[in-house]
Chains A and B, each alone.
Chain A
Amino acid sequence: MSIDTESGHVANRDQDLALTFAAAIRTAAYYGPDNAVMQQVCATLGSMLAEHAEEEGSVTVGVHSHCVFVDKTRVRTSIATYGRFTYLVQLFDTWGINTLTFLAGLTDDELMRALRLFAEWRRSGPEDLADTLRAQGLDRVQVDTVAAGTQPQAVAPVETYAAAMQLGDEMGEATGSGEPGTVRRLRHVTQAVVDQILRDPRSLVALTTIKDFDRYLISHSTNVAVLSVVLGQRLGLSKSRLGELCLAAFLHDAGKLDVTPEVLNKPAALDSEEWEEMRRHPILAAHTLLGDRRLAASGMRAVVVAFEHHLNYDMTGYPPTEIKDKVTLFGNIVAIADRYDALTTARVYRKNNFTPHEAVVYVVANAGTLFDPILVKLFVEIMGLYPPGTVVQLTGGEVGVVCEPPAVGSPLDRPKVRVVSEGKSGPALDLNERIGGEFARSIANVLNPANKGQLPAVDASVFAAID
């Protein structure tokens, strides 16, 4: 076997182990030890662990910097594996541990008991988990929390979001991206956005729903960046590519700086001449971003995305092209994010502003024409059929706002909803919750409050930590 083939084989083996481990814990949450499915999963996992442990005497599954490791090797996430890896990362975060080590000689019975323990474990605290494992005689399963100086610094999501908005605001006033130090600031802010999304995608998505309508353009670039990166992360893009995507999305509307302010801010529908001017903004953005320096790959991608984000998936958009015959991946991602944010931002002159639910319907309806159909499916998987910010009435009569999309792997119409009463936020209800095997609540209606389309998905408490 060649070196490349061998390393590929090892990588696949590690990935399979991590996936099977995640699947086994999930299965244990639903089935008892006597269940045939549970026994099959346990046996499969057991033989994988034995094979891995043959050389070193043990095998370690760990989580660090939102990535899964098997025996010190990082396992790559992909679309197909995203759900299970995310589940594993969340589990380890909840338990507060870095690694689980399985020693050689672990029996099937021990493994089964360990899996059931993991599935039922609700208390946080690594010491408890380690003690409990020992108390149950599971000495061949060890917990490790030692990771000196390991965790990346966590900036509060709202700080990251505010920093991005602030930068967008200042860039909107500047002559362009050529101000000294701007490129560096852009990089740092986009890195912070990507890091935040890798930690917890939902946090920033929720902040995109704040929608200060008077400052649409300022928040729009940030919102498009956030939504694009969330979609890119779900697609399995590497961190450096997510950084490029974030930068490109953030700058996609740089050309609007050159559009007449009266046209840009017109509180009514545009006439044909004004519309023609507005349609120039992608090419103007591309020119703006060319700047006066030699571009790195990230800069090139930003130019491309700025040019093509209104081309449409089927190339029926604008600006007209003569040799370009398809939109790039980044362009297609930003197109969805851009349109979704624009649709969910209420306009004074619109008779019926879109709710997030209607915006998702629009995106799905235009899959294959305006939007890449595969990306649309991923987008819906991320946001759910009732995205954050959707105001809903539940079957129990409560009115609330969707605060989190459905968990990975859950039905798309079962988000978390925060009840709102007399202008105050109440508890968050998980519509995935069942009582006696039946869903406790469902969405009965979608509401459009004061024709604004949506409400902020965040609670005022997110700002308390900053205070």
Chain B
Amino acid sequence: MPGGRRVGERINRGPHELSTMAAEQSSSSDHRSVSEICACLHRAYRDLRFYPPDHPTARQALDALAETVMTRVNERGPLTLEVEEGRLTYLGEQVYSYETSRDNLAFLLFRDGIRSLSLYPGLEAGEVEVLVDRLAHADDLADAEHDLATALWEQDFAHIDYHVADPFLGGEVLREGTIDALRETVLRRLDEVAPAGAAQAGAPQDDMRMVELAEFDAESLALTQTEMEQSEQAATASSTALEDFALVLLEMAGDSPGIPTEDDALTRSLAMVIDHYLENRNLDGLSLVLDRLQLLEAQGRRPAGFVGLVAGEAVTAQRLAGLLQGIGQAPADEATRIGGFLVRMRRWAIPALLELLGETEDRAVRKMVLDVLRSDDGALGQYLWPLMQDPRWYVVRNAVQLAAGSRDPDLAGHLERLLRHPEVRVRREVMRTLDTSGEDRAVQVLVKALSDEDSSVRTLAARGLGRHGGPEHVATVLAHLESRDFDARPTEEVQALLGAFAGLGGERAVAELDRLWRRRRFSAHPLPVRLAALQALGTISSPAAERALKEAMESGEAPVQRTAAHALHEAQALRARLRV
């Protein structure tokens, strides 16, 4: 037969061959398991680049990797992977590679100087997770002039080791002569010692002064048990780098006035501290920083506006959102403290507060933010105008709402620009704010708003105009009453216009209103219009208005009569009040 063995032929192998075969199979199986570990490692690395560790996808990959690799090293001992530029090898054989460098773990390790990675029995799941995390975020390290080897070094893994190509990682190449200089110094200095023979004679040379030996009590130099415990506590105390740093920054701020600019390192560092304190809701730390900076500013040791410059950089809507998270369920004293802090920060936090107001749906947060913003000292206006150009309608609306309390003379001008805002809710809010203002310019804007395409806006404009307008505006309102579509307008709008007409026209409006309620020979205004006219007559304190209403009470139309009676009562009461 050409080659091969016949089916059924028994193959006998000797013991040596069997042993070799077993060893080969074992080695092959070992390589497979290592390859599988590398595949798990790659999956976990890939997933952790896109998801946080608690995401189900990432979690599953991490757990699978941890189980696989821990089982392997605990059963079979240390595992060392050699790192080459594009692949990982185990005992000389490839166990991992990936097509693109960007996603290739081996390339990542190789790039940062790592040439082997060893994992030992006792490996813990936490170590595996941290290792993968560092790998997954290795590219971020470059921004901080960090690298993977440093990141692994800092972890000080108990059961993971690595080798680097160069202990100085390519950073240090000793200059020629550096070590020679040290050697020469050593040799030169040794020549300064007098010959031993002369010293042994008990007569030290002139250049070998004898020094008096100090007496020490050995016991006094030994650490007591208490001192050992104190030292242990100090050594294992959790890091307070930022708190210590903050104190030093505050000292430095008091030392050098300087001129703060946005690029000033001290300013940015202080902003970073505030940012951290906000993130961690550390109100004590925030108070310390603000107290100190405000004091320095008050003493003239820091230029005016310094605190705002620092705080403004740090206080963002995101940070405030974190600070206020759960405020509705917080204990009363904590909520009060946070509220007090916000009021204190208000001056520098207005943009962030406004942004937060626009984004949050939490009622308790909104309430607190509004309360803070409404404690207005007139400084709010300047922050609101830019927000009125925000692309988000709710931000604009909130800004308009908050502007209601502003005494800024430019208010009406800014609001006028919003008459064309596409969102009706914004335009309605504009009307309310103009109504609150009541200034002459605001009234002019209300007049313009009578032509708005939306009935609710026109209604609010009419009401506002009725409250703050003057006789000069009667004609404008009358023009609306005489428009062709007046009868078809919603009842609320009709009422508002007629009310405004009555309020602005007074006695002069009676004739027109009287005409409106009456039924004409061939036509009549719709009943809501007629009734609204009667209501408007009730707001005019004049005999002519009363006569018109009395006449309406005898119209024979029940709704007309009822409304007229009510309006007459209102008119008489009004006249009585005016007499008083």
Pairwise interchain contact B216-A72, C-beta atoms closer than 8 A = no
Q: Are the C-beta atoms of B227 and A456 separated by less than 8 Å?
A: no
Question: Which residue from A183, A323, A401, A448 sits with its C-beta under 8 Å from B209?
Answer: A448
- Contact check, B239 vs A297: say whether CB atoms are below 8 A apart: yes
Q: Bound complex: CA of A357 vs CA of B209, how far in Å? A: 13
Of B143-151, B376-384, B420-428, which stretch is located at the interface?
Answer: B143-151
In the assembled complex, the Cα of A243 lies from the Cα of B154 at a distance in Å of: 8
Q: Are A424 and B248 in contact (CB under 8 A)?
A: no
Q: Is A28's beta carbon under 8 Å from chain B?
A: no
Distance in Å from the Cβ of A385 to the closest Cβ of chain B? 6
Tell whether, in the assembled complex, residue B171 and residue A286 are in contact, meaning their CB atoms are under 8 Å apart. no
Q: Is the CB of B161 within 8 A of A72?
A: no
Nearest A residue (CB) for B78: A148
Residue of B nearest to A327 (CB): B244
Residues of the A chain whose Cβ atoms lie less than 8 Å from the Cβ of B54: none
B161/A67 in contact, CB under 8 A: no
Query: Counting CB contacts under 8 A, is B191 at the interface?
Result: yes
Q: Is the CB of B193 within 8 A of A300?
A: no
Are A425's CB and B80's CB within 8 A? no
Give Cα A166–Cα B172 distance, bound, in whole angstroms: 9
Least CB distance from B516 to A in Å reads 71
Q: How far is the CA of A319 from the CA of B216 in the complex (A)?
A: 33
Contact B232 A80 (CB under 8 A): yes
| Contact of B252 with A by CB under 8 A | yes
Closest to B155 in A: A240
Contacts of A381 in B (CB 8 A): 221, 223
Check A447/B209 contact, CB under 8 A, given A65-B161, A322-B251, A423-B193.
yes
A181 touches B145 (CB 8 A): yes
Q: Does B120 contact A (CB under 8 A)?
A: yes
Which residues of chain B from 474 to 489 have any CB-CB distance to chain A below 8 Å in the complex? Answer: none
A260 contacts the other chain (CB 8 A): no
In the complex, which residues of chain B have a beta carbon less than 8 angstroms from the beta carbon of A149? 78, 80, 116, 118, 161, 163
CB atoms of A303 and B209 under 8 A apart = no
Contacts of A124 in B (CB 8 A): none
**How far apart are the CA atoms of A307 and B144 in the complex, in Å?**
23
Q: Which of these, B181, B195, B207, contacts A450 with CB under 8 Å?
A: B207
B126-152 to A contact mask, C-beta < 8 Å, 1/0: 000000000000000000111100100
- A residues less than 8 Å from B153 (CB atoms): 191, 239-240, 243
Q: Does B235 contact A (CB under 8 A)?
A: yes
In the complex, what distance in Å separates the CA atom of A69 from the CA atom of B122?
A: 10
- Does any Cβ of A come within 8 Å of B100's Cβ? no
| A184 in contact with B171 given A72-B122, A448-B208, A450-B207 (CB within 8 Å) | yes
Q: What is the 8 Å Cβ interface bit string for chain A, positions 424-467, against chain B (1 contact, 0 not)?
A: 11000000000000000001011111111001101110010010
Q: A238-B156, A399-B200 in contact; A451/B209 too (CB < 8 A)?
A: yes
For the complex, give the distance between the alpha carbons of A381 and B220 in Å.
Answer: 12
A421 interface residue, CB < 8 Å from B?
yes
A148 to B154, CA, bound (A): 22
Is there a chain B Cβ closer than 8 Å to A113's Cβ? no
Say if the beta carbon of B358 comes within 8 Å of chain A: no
Q: A366 within 8 Å of B by Cβ?
A: no
Main secondary structure of the interface of A (DSSP, over half): mixed
Q: Are B182 and A235 touching (Cβ within 8 A)?
A: no
Choice from B150, B175, B193, B265 contacting A187 with Cβ under 8 Å = B150
Contact A304 B244 (CB under 8 A): yes
Q: Evaluate contact between A450 and B116: CB separation under 8 angstroms.
A: no
Is B298 engaged at the interface, CB distance under 8 Å to the other chain?
Answer: no
Residue of B nearest to A244 (CB): B241
Closest to A194 in B: B153
Report whether B185 and A212 are in contact in the complex, using a CB–CB cutoff of 8 Å. yes
A3 interface hit (Cβ, 8 Å): no
- B75 at the binding interface (Cβ < 8 Å): no
A131 to chain B, nearest CB (A): 22
The stretch of A47-55, A265-273, A390-398 that contacts the partner chain: A390-398
Determine whether the beta carbon of B122 is less than 8 Å from that of A71: yes
Q: 1/0 contact trace for A389-426 toward B, CB 8 Å? A: 00101000111010000000001110000011111110
* B214, CB-defined interface residue at 8 Å: yes
* Chain B 195-236: CB-based contact to A (< 8 A → 1; otherwise 0): 111011000100111110110101001110001101110111
Give residues of chain A (187-242) contacting chain B, Cβ–Cβ below 8 Å. Answer: 187-189, 191-192, 195, 207, 210-212, 235-241
Neighbouring A residues of B171 by C-beta, 8 Å: 181, 184-185, 188-189
CB neighbours (8 Å) of B242 from chain A are 297, 300
Q: Which 7 A-B pairs have the closest CB atoms?
A: A72-B122, A397-B200, A290-B265, A300-B245, A74-B158, A183-B145, A239-B156
Interface residues of B, Cβ cutoff 8 Å to A: 77-78, 80, 116, 118, 120-122, 144-147, 150, 153-156, 158-159, 161, 163-164, 167-169, 171-172, 174-175, 178-179, 181-183, 185-187, 189-197, 199-200, 204, 207-211, 213-214, 216, 218, 221-223, 227-228, 230-232, 234-237, 239, 241-242, 244-245, 247-248, 250-252, 254-256, 263, 265-266, 268-269, 272, 288, 292
Known: A146-B78, A166-B174, A239-B154. 11 other contacts (CB 8 A): A69-B158, A71-B122, A79-B232, A149-B116, A150-B120, A184-B171, A212-B182, A300-B242, A323-B288, A393-B210, A423-B191
List 14 contacting pairs A-B, 8 Å CB cutoff, sorted by A: A80-B228, A147-B120, A149-B78, A150-B78, A182-B145, A188-B169, A240-B156, A283-B256, A295-B272, A324-B248, A412-B218, A451-B209, A452-B189, A460-B187
Which A residues contact B (CB, under 8 angstroms)? 64-65, 67, 69, 71-74, 78-80, 146-150, 152-153, 155, 158-159, 161-163, 165-167, 181-185, 187-189, 191-192, 195, 207, 210-212, 235-241, 243-244, 283, 286-287, 290-297, 300-301, 303-304, 307-308, 319, 321-324, 328-329, 352, 355, 357-358, 361, 364, 373-374, 377-378, 380-381, 385, 391, 393, 397-399, 401, 411-413, 419-425, 443, 445-452, 455-456, 458-460, 463, 466
